[in-house]
Amino acid sequence: MFFLHGGPEDLQMVQSLSIFRLIGAAVLGARIILTQKLFLALMRIHQMVKNSTRTMQYLAYCFRFRLRTLLGLVFAISIGLAIWHAVTFHKKISDVLHAESSDETSVCYRSLFSSVPLWLLRRSPHESIALQASWEEVARSIPIEKGRQTIITDNEKVIDFFAVLECCGRISIPEWWIEFVSNLRANRRDYIFGCLPTNMSYHETELDFVKAPEGTAIWQDSNGNCHVQIGKDSSLIPTTLFSKSGSGLFIGQVSATFTAKYCFMAEHDDRCRPHSVACIDRTTGKAVWISLACGCNWNVLSSGAEGESKVTIVAKDDRIVVFGVANQFYAHGYRVDNGDTIFRFSSDF
């Protein structure tokens, strides 16, 4: 009724309201459309983020997998190298301990020292290895090349060497041997030499051309038996332990020492090359065992004179140690009961 009977103003108002409604509807429609587009856009962004997260997770998984693989490979290689080094180290040690000749022993030691640190070898449970490594530290303090002046060995390292020797041998080192080693000189690393104390010369005995240290007498009785005497103690010695010349005369140099039960004798030449060491039962005069001392292989004596060498045998409890010098020096320890080597050292190795 209002629309039918209203005036022009009313009609204009109605038209205005219709326009506003249309605008409101359009705005509402636009808001809906924009909301939907925004929602779709947000969904796309969410999906992208989700995909990106999965990608990152995949990449992280691949990285962790590759890292674990790499670490496992490094660990396996490290274990393999450790096993290889352990086997190689054990073989080199075994080669040294089972070397028969001095030349072979020297080659084995050079190989060992070039591949294993000396500080580690000094802690070896094998006395021979620990002792030789200790002396190698002394030798390495000397330049390789020949210098203009004679070099004196490092006194502190020499004292350390004595300490290792006393620990290995569990025996007192003879004073004359300490004096010899403490006064060594060198022109280069492979030419270290010393001079014997003047009061250490050997004298001729009553047995042909056999020499012995002062205070030691050796002779042969009318029955052909050989005797050695030090002070008031004496013992029979098998004649087979002496070297003989082409004419059948006894020759060489002999050093001996006594315990209550045994006589220990070293028969060596004037250059202390590898020589025999024997244990003799003082009751029967028969050899209990005969072993070989490592000795030295140098052919040049410190003074250039023949016959300047010395050997001393020190016995204590269950072991004996043979100390010897010529131009070089050595120490060789044995078990008293069977003559097995406890340790051996030579500056010539």
The single-letter code of the amino acid at 129 is I
Cβ 118 vs Cβ 129: under 8 Å: no
- Residue-level pLDDT at 4: 43
143 against 213, higher pLDDT:
213
Q: Where are the alpha helices (DSSP H) in 98-154?
A: 102-115, 118-121, 127-140
CA distance 289 to 128: 21
Cβ 204 vs Cβ 219: under 8 Å: no
CA distance 84 to 341: 29
- Give residue limits of the domains in the chain: 2-89, 102-193, 200-346
In this structure, of 29-38, 74-83, 114-123, 319-328, the range with the lowest mean pLDDT score is 29-38
pTM, two decimal places: 0.74
Decide if pLDDT at 13 tops 60: no
- Residue-level pLDDT at 190: 74
CA distance 278 to 311: 14
Q: What is the b/e burial string over 331-344, where b = at least 16 CB atoms within 10 angstroms of the residue's CB? A: bbbbebeebebbbb
CA distance 290 to 237: 13
CA distance 322 to 264: 10
The single-letter code of the amino acid at 238 is P
Which residues, including other chains, have CB under 8 Å from residue 175's CB and lie 6 or more apart?
none
Cβ 224 vs Cβ 239: under 8 Å: yes
- Residue-level pLDDT at 335: 93
Decide if pLDDT at 219 tops 70: yes
Query: What value does the mean pLDDT take over residues 46-62?
Result: 65
Q: Domain 200-346 falls in which CATH fold? A: Thrombin, subunit H (2.40.10)
149 against 173, higher pLDDT:
173
Confidence class for position 307, pLDDT limits 50, 70, 90:
very low
- Residue-level pLDDT at 145: 74
Most confident of the following: 7-16, 31-40, 82-91, 245-254: 245-254
